[in-house]
Amino acid sequence: MPAPGFKARGHFFVCCSFLLSICNLLQNIQKILMNISELLNQLPSRVLNLLKDAGICAKKMGFEAYAVGGLVRDLFLRRDNLDVDLVIEGSGIDFASGFSAGHNARLLIYEKFGTANLVFPDGFKADVATARTETYERPAALPFVMPGSIRDDISRRDFSINTLAVSLNPDRFGELLDLFHARDDIKKKLIRALHEKSFIDDPTRIFRAARFEKRFGFRIESITEKLIQDAVCAGLIERLSGHRISSELRLILKEENPLLPVRRLDELGVLSAVGRKGEKHKELKRLLRRIDEMKLMV
């Protein structure tokens, strides 16, 4: 039979272990949730006021509003970005209709995807989307979209650095949601896919991986690069429509130094696959000629 002192020490160590577990859990929660109101205050007043108004409007309608995408990511990169993307837990279209009426904004609605564009009298624009989840019937197909939560919406994104979301409702304004360690990857300068089927579901993410890597001076994380290579070897680039590939190439050609992502795509074997697709698509063939001319000029 154990001595009383031994039993007491055992209980003490169990309690310590439990408290340590609780501390670790709280630290993890703190990593996921933090408030970045001070960072938001560095935004131009036009943008900051729009975000605050969006949160007030959402609360009145019984919705939750979030700022997502490049605007939030670039706050941590200390880069200017005035592209306002709002995600609504509830109906994005109902929110956009109510918000546009209160701000005399022109409203463009895309019912099929639950999205809307707002154009304000001063020309400023904002995109609104219903928080959603996506499923893919087959590789490289357009997704089937269903309403979901903000967590669902974050989980469908391309790379970890693009998964940050900030609550805009007045009672939680500035609360940051970081489910995929986006801030860690920003610090490490990594482009990381969220799951192993990312480029099977949507091969256009390969183009964005190269574009973001070179724009930010990051590097594609090793497992993510292997997933890209597997997708290219499986012929998934050729499954994309010429229109979708052309859209991605146009975005690359608008970069400050487009040759860098172009060379990266070449290294990954993407341009060879695009070339085969371009034989049957007029606009894609034109863009490939521009890329060839650009490569020859250097």
Q: What is residue 29's predicted lDDT score, i.e. its pLDDT?
A: 44
Domains in the chain: how many in total? 2
pLDDT tens digit sequence for 20-66: 555 444 444 444 568 999 999 999 999 999 999 999 999 999 999 99
pLDDT tens digit sequence for 160-192: 999 999 999 999 999 999 999 999 999 999 999
Range of the domain at 279: 191-298
10 part of a folded domain: no
CA 160/CA 73 separation, integer angstroms: 10
* Residue 246 shares a structural domain with residue 163: no
Mean pLDDT (the chain, rounded):
90
- The pLDDT > 70 percentage for the chain reads 89
* Residue 95 shares a structural domain with residue 243: no
Q: What is residue 27's predicted lDDT score, i.e. its pLDDT?
A: 47
* Residue 181 shares a structural domain with residue 228: no
* Residue 167 shares a structural domain with residue 235: no
- pLDDT above 70 for 118: yes
CATH number for 109: 3.30.460.10
* Residue 166 shares a structural domain with residue 50: yes
Q: What is residue 226's predicted lDDT score, i.e. its pLDDT?
A: 98
Answer with the one of 158, 188, 218 that is the final residue of a domain. Answer: 188
pLDDT tens digit sequence for 222-231: 999 999 999 9
Answer with the one of 130, 158, 188 that is the final residue of a domain. Answer: 188
Contact in structure between 90 and 113 (CB atoms under 8 Å): no
* Residue 146 shares a structural domain with residue 255: no
In the chain, the amino acid numbered 237 is I
**Among the residues of the chain, which ranges form H helices?**
4-32, 37-40, 45-60, 70-77, 92-103, 150-155, 182-188, 198-201, 204-216, 222-233, 236-239, 242-253, 259-267, 270-278, 282-297
